[in-house]
Amino acid sequence: METVNRLARLLSGRNETESVTDDARAPNQRVIVRTPGRCAVSNYLVALEAAWLVRDVEAIDDAIGVAVSEAGGRLNEANKEFVDVEVGATPCPACGEPFDSAFIAASTALVGLMLEIEVFNADSEEHATRIAKSEIGGALRDVPLDVIDVIETEADDEDE
């Protein structure tokens, strides 16, 4: 059988390759063979918010510095250097301007941290979220995490 045409089609939600061939045994008939291909995957940037507790601090700037340092240290120990850590922003209830997400009471601070991770080859936003929570949550045990945003990013040319 000689291949006459190769078409890439999206069939039933998956990438499949369709080969149309001439059948030497039956010259007037064509045979279509479908071969499942790789599922369509994308890269995502996932932003998570973490609530970090810092004890024995008097100033907001000190609390923020300690929180970012401790979170970064725990991520680095778990070989998660690719996670970006920065202080979160909370909008002012009066004017809407963002300010650092930190609060001190009784020498104990609650600091909101923003953690960003790029997830490659995820099937969907939900899949990327699960991967991000698993990667970060494993290193930051007992730290509450909430998804803030998920953005699909451009795939590299080598993936295509």
Q: What's the rounded Cα separation, in Å, for the pair 127 and 13?
A: 16
Domains of the chain in sequence order: 42-153 (3.30.70)
**How much is the pLDDT for 86?**
96
Alpha helix ranges (H) inside the chain: 60-77, 125-139
Q: Give per-residue pLDDT as tens, 2-39.
A: 333 333 333 334 444 444 445 555 566 555 544 444 56
The pair of three-digit structure tokens given for residue 147, joined into one six-digit string: 């998804």
The pair of three-digit structure tokens given for residue 55, joined into one six-digit string: 């004890």
Residue 68 has pLDDT above 70, yes or no: yes
- What string of DSSP letters covers 111-139? EEEEEEEEEEEESSHHHHHHHHHHHHHHH
| Prediction pTM value | 0.70
